[in-house]
């Protein structure tokens, strides 16, 4: 029986690498993995899933008009993989549940749970509500050896806790930290 999985973490936990690995494993067995990525994430080019290790692969771009259910019904994949799930809308997450429930295709979504202000992303909130299984991908704090659970955003070399929720970036803007290191550098509100 197919299920919707939400695998979340902070940045630098290897989420994109995991997607690429799963796709490879399916294809090595002559199975079809369908990959999606939101249009919003263009750090490495639109329609690309790229790991920090340098592995990259094309993916179907998700925007407001993308009919993921129709694409999946036509392609008949053995698995659907989605990167950067935090950027999905609630309606898109519900569409992913339809792929699972109607087509009986497992869907695995990777993404961030919370932003640098410690608020849930809309896509993450919907995934936490609708996923059959929620799993944490572990990451290590940038400053100590504890488990990273939060993102710390830097601007002009200083930690910031205010601003727009979404500003695409990597290690140049964000680091993954534990709660203690987050609180030690920024007032938790």
Provide the annotated active-site residues. 84
26 burial type by CB count under 10 A (0-12 exposed, 13-18 middle, 19+ buried): middle
H/E element, 125: helix 122-130
Q: What is the dihedral of CA 142, 123, 44, 59, to 10 degrees?
A: 130
Extended strands (E) in the chain: 4-9, 33-38, 48-50, 56-58, 60-62, 79-82, 107-112, 133-136, 150-155, 158-160, 174-177
Task: Give the integer Cα–Cα distance in Å for 108 and 110.
Answer: 7
Task: Give the integer Cα–Cα distance in Å for 139 and 25.
Answer: 23
């Amino acid at each position: 029986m197919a299920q919707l999985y939400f695998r979340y973490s902070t940045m630098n936990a290897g989420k994109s690498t995991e997607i690429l690995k799963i796709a490879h494993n399916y294809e090595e067995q002559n199975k079809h993995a369908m990959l999606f990525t939101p249009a919003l994430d263009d750090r490495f080019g639109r329609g690309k899933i790229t790991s920090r290790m340098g592995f990259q692969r094309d993916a179907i771009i998700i925007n407001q008009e993308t009919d993921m259910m129709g694409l999946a019904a036509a392609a008949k994949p053995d698995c659907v993989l989605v990167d950067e799930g935090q950027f999905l809308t609630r309606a898109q997450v519900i569409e992913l549940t339809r792929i699972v429930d109607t087509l009986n295709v497992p869907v695995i979504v990777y993404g961030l749970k919370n932003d640098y202000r410690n608020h849930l992303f809309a896509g993450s909130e919907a995934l936490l509500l609708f996923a059959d299984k929620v799993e944490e991908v572990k990451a290590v704090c940038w400053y100590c050896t504890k488990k990273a659970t939060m993102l710390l955003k830097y601007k002009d070399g200083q930690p910031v806790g205010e601003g727009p929720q979404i500003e695409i970036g990597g290690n140049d803007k964000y680091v993954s930290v534990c709660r203690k290191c987050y609180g030690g550098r920024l007032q938790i509100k």
